[in-house]
Amino acid sequence: MGYVNVSISEALNYVEQLLKDAVAQLPDKEKVDVHQPGTIEGFRRSHQRGHLLIVPGKGLLENQPMADAIVQNHDIAIHVYPVINYITGRNHPSAYIDFILDTLTGVEIQPANGSKRGDRRIYCTDWDVVKEERGEWWLFTAAVLPYTRFEKEFIEQQ
């Protein structure tokens, strides 16, 4: 595998696919829609049970010593907002936080991009309740995909 830089868009698509695959395994009454919305401001739930909204979070870049090129740890945070309708007799909306954590934590990142990092697995850093309004719960989780970012000239020389 050669050296490549993974875009934020690719990381979003990867997390979206992981969550879609996991949601497909849920009982029908607990299934939710998984997608990357154009906006979360003013978002309205259209699926009976709810949605997992996937958006970019914060990125962290850290230089790694290398003689002839800029190589950086590039930790890409992906935020997932579960927007879940509370329905009596079904899982509490907070169960979707556990679902996201269980689905993403420890998954080896793809593509591997030539990174020599030993921590190339997704880890989650945060969760919270954003708001609850008339039985509609807005929750928050943050997952980090630890990639390496390479200087363009370094990639071209490989």
pLDDT one-digit tens code per residue, 98-139: 999 999 999 988 656 666 666 788 999 999 999 999 999 999
Closest by CA to 26, choosing from 128, 83, 82, 95, is: 95
CATH superfamily, domain at 8-157: Phage tail protein-like (3.30.2000.10)
- Whole-structure pTM value: 0.89
Most distant pair of Cα atoms in the chain: their distance: 61
Task: Give the per-residue pLDDT at 119.
Answer: 73
User: Which residue spans within 33-135 are E strands per DSSP?
Assistant: 33-35, 50-64, 71-85, 123-133
Instruction: State yes or no: pLDDT of 96 exceeds 80.
Output: yes
What is the C-alpha separation between 47 and 114, in angstroms, rounded?
39
Strands 50-64 and 33-35, bridge-based pairing: parallel
